Amino acid sequence: NAGVTQTPKFRVLKTGQSMTLLCAQDMNHEYMYWYRQDPGMGLRLIHYSVGEGTTAKGEVPDGYNVSRLKKQNFLLGLESAAPSQTSVYFCASSYYQKGPTSRETQYFGPGTRLLVL
Amino acid sequence: GNSVTQMEGPVTLSEEAFLTINCTYTATGYPSLFWYVQYPGEGLQLLLKATKADDKGSNKGFEATYRKETTSFHLEKGSVQVSDSAVYFCALTLSNSGGYQKVTFGIGTKLQVIP
């Protein structure tokens, strides 16, 4: 049981290049999330998904796109990287708890460190 | 909106010292409260949680009590070890009408424990 995995671990891009970050989870979780972590700002939600084939915007979605073609995978794409997207990216997943009071813990991957020059 | 406030640190303590990391929150509704820990080079992992007022979460010698009257969830440990050096995030969770849980994180407090 690997939990949540992310690839790659580290990447350097030039401004304008594109790339895709892959997140995979083997816990059969319905919900998946992409966050970015920046100094002094904590974690901010980029996009999330409540199930296969669905995605939604989070707090800071601009410049990113996502896809959830399979339940276990959640891809984050940067179409044209900018230096402002230099950050550490974390994927997370959680169970779906039916009803209005979802209180489930999120499980995080180890992160992808991205440097955009 | 919802928010979580904690000091950024770093907090530097000697081994076996008492630890307190303060966390206060504002939220509409009745949130669940969490402490996550991030060890160097790793992702966040749940340390403890509390889902209603006066609940106490505990794990690995850490404790935090959900105080609704003071909107706080302070993290404490009686005797820290070098291995506790990490970044600690306070967080709250509320559900929207679609059942999705939105998590609001604090900025994280870096703890350094020296031998």
Model pLDDT for residues A4-32, shown as the tens digit of each residue: 999 999 999 999 999 999 999 999 998 99
The CA distance from A25 to B55, in Å, is 31
Decide if A6 contacts A23 (C-beta within 8 A).
Answer: yes
Report the pLDDT value the prediction gives residue B96, as an integer from 0 to 100: 56
| Residues from chain B contacting residue A56 (CB–CB below 8 Å) | 100
CB contact under 8 A, B99 and A43: no
Alpha helix (H) residue ranges in B32-112: none
Residue A11's Cβ-count burial label (10 Å; 0-12, 13-18, 19+) is middle
Percent of chain B topping pLDDT 70 = 94
The pLDDT-based confidence of B98 (bands split at 50, 70, 90) is low
**Residue B34 in contact with partner chain A when CB distance is under 8 A:** yes
Decide if B99 contacts A98 (C-beta within 8 A).
Answer: yes
User: Does residue A90 have a pLDDT over 70?
Assistant: yes
Chain B nearest-CA distance from A39, in A, is 8
Decide if B64 contacts B55 (C-beta within 8 A).
Answer: no
| Residues from chain A contacting residue B106 (CB–CB below 8 Å) | 42
Which pair of tokens denotes residue B15?
């081994």
Decide if A108 contacts A91 (C-beta within 8 A).
Answer: yes
